[in-house]
Amino acid sequence: MNQIFNFSRFIKYATYQTRIRRNIYLPTIAGFSVALFLFMLFLLSVNSYWKQNEWTVLFFTSFAITGLLLIGNAFPSLRNKEKRINMLMLPVSVFEKYTYEYIIKVVLFAILYPLLFVILSSLAVHIAGIINPDKTILSFSFDPILHPRHDYVMRLIFWIYLFSSSLIFAGAAAIKKHPLIKTLLLVGTVIMGTIGYFYIIFKELRLGNGIQYVAKNTISDEKEAFTWLFTLLGISACTALTYAFFKLKEKEV
């Protein structure tokens, strides 16, 4: 039998994990849906005119916050010693456990959250229209998101989501307690430290104009700049996901 990934074994493991976690998943989804719906209804009530831009900002903001909280709590069994031992002792390969968490926390969330947002926003608009029939309320639409002014926007959103979710996912696999907070602090410290370091170097050596010179001579146009950015985000995401897998493997060993 394949000890790396067996589809039949993976389905049994996924069914088992979903069954034992449903008492957590269902109340959490229900509570979050009610809270988001009430928040939408409140915003529609206090604003005289709700435009598509407001819907877009609310969608991405709520998507980012919810995604961070969900992905940051991947591998919940690792937070408790007894549950961690039981999870690691299950007769399932590490890759199958890893794949299940990634699909549930990253892939399914990215697919299902937009559907949930559409349903809740439509319901909120309908209820707000009943409460105040004289107010003009536009329904949420994916058109500004799917058809932005610039072609690279959708690809940028995708790569940023893949990059950020991979970092948080890796933190959840590597850190025992409070993985989301510690990962955000670590990543934030590294980013701020890097920015501060180069700022000091460029300031001390007076390389302000040199940045423009290097950029003009290494990047020919906007398309090439975004290609380099997407490549960097992709490499970083793959590195983080690989690190997460080996940290999970290390825990089992």
Q: For 87-120, write each residue's pLDDT tens digit.
A: 777 788 889 999 999 999 999 999 999 999 999 9
Q: Given CA atoms 187, 190, 194, 197 in this order, what sign does their dihedral have?
A: positive
Position 53 in a domain: yes
Side-chain half-sphere CA neighbours of 126 within 13 A: 7
The band of 197, judged by pLDDT with boundaries at 50, 70 and 90, is confident
Domain region containing 131: 7-252
User: How many domains is the chain partitioned into structurally?
Assistant: 1
The one-letter amino acid at 178: H
Tens-digit pLDDT profile for residues 139-193: 888 888 877 777 778 888 899 999 999 999 999 999 888 898 999 898 889 889 9
Q: How far apart are CA 222 and CA 13, in angstroms?
A: 46
- Residue 2 located in a structural domain: no
242 inside domain? yes
Residue 111 inside a domain? The answer is yes
Nearest-angstrom CA–CA distance, 83 and 89? 10
Report yes or no on 130 lying in a domain: yes
Query: How many Cβ atoms from other residues are within 10 Å of residue 103's Cβ?
Result: 13
Q: Residue 228: what pLDDT?
A: 81
Element (H, E) at 149: none
pLDDT classification of 217: cutoffs 50, 70, 90: low
Strand-pairing partners, residue 137, are 50
Note whether residue 35 is domain-resident: yes
Q: If you compute the radius of gyration of the chain from its CA atoms, what whole number of angstroms results? A: 22
Amino acid (one-letter) located at 168: I
Q: What is the pLDDT of residues 59-98, one digit of tens each?
A: 999 999 999 999 998 888 888 877 777 777 778 888 999 9
pLDDT tens digits, one per residue of 26-58: 899 999 999 999 999 998 888 877 788 889 889
213 within some domain: yes
